[in-house]
Structure 1
Amino acid sequence: MKQILYKLFEHQYLGRSEARDILQNIAQGKYSDAQIASLITVFLMRNISVEELCGFRDALLDMRIPVDLNEFSPIDIVGTGGDGKNTFNISTASCFVLAGAGYPVVKHGNYGATSVSGASNVMEQHGVKFTNDNDKLRRSMEQCNMAYLHAPLFNSAMKAVAPVRKALGVRTFFNMLGPLVNPVFPKYQLLGVYNLPLLRLYSYTYQQSDTQFAVVHSLDGYDEISLTTEFKVATSGNEKIYTPESLGFSRYQEADLYGGDTPEDAAKIFNNVLKNKATSAQRDVVIANSAFAIQVIESQKSIFECIDMAKESLESGKALQVLNKFVELNS
């Protein structure tokens, strides 16, 4: 590792196979926490290259515990995290809205490393027990259109670096990798990123695969559609900038999306959203993200049709029914 760190400190880049080997060594416990932290720090000081990202991804996919749910043609809605905004669990709430609208969802998530509540935190607040049992995951999909994959159960490298990530408390290249290594290989994906270079990096990466995708970024730094400013959406076909007002939404303030100081606070907001008892800002931001996720699947539909479908799932109580059934099946 010493030679690798010297190379990186001299502003050199890793090759794809070199990056793959490094991450495999991390998973095998060959490096100390201090060495891993030093490696992570390099990628806080400069952008990761496509070759490095693909090499790290190759290693994680090689080591993953496979899950076979392809017959459902599912979608994953996920953010890279690391935007420093500490929002409530917008992507996770959107997953339940999509499941309530009839679309199969396989959510791949983890504990919050840079925020109070990641997807796994809010799941645990509901008593969910994580599993990598394929039969249990399939049953959940069949009965409520939703399965949850807690990332460390499916990849030893994610588990190995969890203490270091938590101790550092800043975004790392593992934030970037998480969306790319869902072991189900979902057919569809809506991904939120915290800056424009990442939007283009992911767009390029997705275009090398069969995934139908949209990558979103709010121009004030959110890794999701925040409705606090203009936001960009990139698909395989084009990039487009939207304003909240152009979609019939109000423009909100950063404080309106704050997730609270504890996982319990975030879970309360999450529940209020799915019970359709949240503030307008909390409700609308989930609807907006859900709508663009629906359009990834239903590309022939206008975004306004997709907004109506997301609203119907939430207002009819279908999203809440999915949550209740999901908790019943997975607790």
Structure 2
Amino acid sequence: MKDTLNYLFTGSRLTKAEAHQMLVRIAEGQFSDSEIASFLTVFRMRQITGEELAGFRQALLELCVAIDLSEYNTIDVVGTGGDGKDTFNISTLSTFLLAGAGYKVAKHGNYGSSSVSGSSNMFEYFGYQFNNKQDKLKREVEDAGICFLHAPLFHPAMKSVGSVRKALKVKTLFNMMGPIINPSFPKNQLVGVYDLDVMDLYHQVFRESGQNYIIVNSLDGYDEISLTGDARFVSNLTEDNLSPADFGFAPVPPEELYGGETVEAAAKIFKNVLEGAGTEAQQNVVISNTALGIQCIHPEKSLADCVAEASESLKSKRALGAFRKLMELNV
């Protein structure tokens, strides 16, 4: 570690292989907390490179508790967090609309880091039992169209840095890892990022993965389609800007996306949207993100058709049906 730190302190970068090796050695407990903290601090002082991120990702995926859902054409919808916008659980709601529309979802997530309620907070609140059992997760995908992968159960390697991250109290490179280390290796992924620099990094990583992917950033700082203004996206096929009008919706005031100050408040919004009692702005934002997820799976479909499909899933209550079925399987 001393040699690596001295190398990095000169401004040098790690190759993908070197980054991979370092993370494996950290996971194996070869270094002290002080050494790990010094290593993580390097990537607060400068931007991580695409090659370094790819190496760290490869190591964590090799070390994870892998789940085989390869027989399904699954999708994950996830945001990086860290945008400081305190929105309601838009990405998580979108996964139920996808399931309601007949798609198979393998949602990867964790407790909220920058907001009150992350996806794990929401699933836990409604009674979902976190597990990493292949048979149970497959049954959920088959019967409800969706399963949830609570990150700590699938990434034991992260335990080796848990105390350091807690002590540092700042974002580290591991905050960037969550959206790109789904242990079920989904064939499709919609990822929201909080700025264009992170979008570029993820694009470098994903284009080597063989997945269908769309990475999106609302240009006013949201890590999803917010409808508060224009958004930028890049995929394995193309890149462009999107406006609210492209989805057929009017712009949304930012205050309409607020998720509340407690998990209970966020859960109330979550249930209201699924039951058709959400505000028009809340419903439109969830529909827009779902539509982009559908287009990730089926790039040949027009955005208008994807919006119609997502809207039908919500308004027909099929999305609510997928939610209720998943929770029934966890009684």
State the TM-score, normalizing by the size of structure 2.
0.94
Q: Match of 1:109?
A: 109
Unmatched runs of 5 consecutive residues or more in structure 1: none
Unmatched runs of 5 consecutive residues or more in structure 2: none
SS at match of 1:320: helix
**Does the C-alpha gap of structure 1 residues 266 and 29 become closer, same or farther in structure 2, counting only changes over 3 Å?**
farther
Q: Match of 2:278?
A: 278
SS at match of 2:329: helix
User: How many positions carry a matched residue from both structures?
Assistant: 331
Report 1:148-159 matches (<5 A).
Answer: 148-159=148-159
Alpha-carbon deviation of 1:284? Answer: 1.1
Q: Match of 2:79?
A: 79
8 Å contact from structure 1 (residues 113, 169) kept in 2: no
Q: Which 10-residue stretch deviates more, 234-243 or 287-296?
A: 234-243
Report 1:49-68 matches (<5 A).
Answer: 49-68=49-68
Q: Deviations over 1:206-225 (max 9, x none)?
A: 22122011111100111111
Alpha-carbon deviation of 1:31? Answer: 3.8
Alpha-carbon deviation of 1:169? Answer: 5.1
**Does the C-alpha gap of structure 1 residues 31 and 68 become closer, same or farther in structure 2, counting only changes over 3 Å?**
same
Report 1:116-155 matches (<5 A).
Answer: 116-155=116-155
8 Å contact from structure 1 (residues 113, 170) kept in 2: no
Q: Match of 2:196?
A: 196
SS at match of 2:29: coil
8 Å contact from structure 1 (residues 257, 282) kept in 2: yes
8 Å contact from structure 1 (residues 113, 171) kept in 2: no
Alpha-carbon deviation of 1:44? Answer: 2.7
Q: Match of 2:249?
A: 249
Counterpart amino acid of 2:8?
L
Identical-pair percentage:
52
**Does the C-alpha gap of structure 1 residues 311 and 136 become closer, same or farther in structure 2, counting only changes over 3 Å?**
same
**Does the C-alpha gap of structure 1 residues 169 and 324 become closer, same or farther in structure 2, counting only changes over 3 Å?**
farther
User: Are 2:244 and 1:238 equivalent residues in the alignment?
Assistant: no
Counterpart amino acid of 1:323?
F
User: Are 2:43 and 1:43 equivalent residues in the alignment?
Assistant: yes
SS at match of 2:221: coil
State the TM-score, normalizing by the size of structure 1.
0.94
Counterpart amino acid of 1:309?
E
8 Å contact from structure 2 (residues 64, 157) kept in 1: no
Q: Match of 2:310?
A: 310
SS at match of 2:300: coil
Alpha-carbon deviation of 1:34? Answer: 4.6
SS at match of 1:190: strand
**Does the C-alpha gap of structure 1 residues 296 and 28 become closer, same or farther in structure 2, counting only changes over 3 Å?**
same
8 Å contact from structure 1 (residues 274, 319) kept in 2: yes
Alpha-carbon deviation of 1:120? Answer: 0.8
Q: 1: distance between equivalents of 2:169 and 2:218?
A: 22
Q: 1: distance between equivalents of 2:41 and 2:109?
A: 23
SS at match of 2:191: strand
Q: Which 10-residue stretch deviates more, 167-176 or 55-64?
A: 167-176
8 Å contact from structure 1 (residues 67, 183) kept in 2: yes
Q: Which 10-residue stretch deviates more, 70-79 or 269-278?
A: 269-278
CA RMSD of aligned residues (A): 1.8
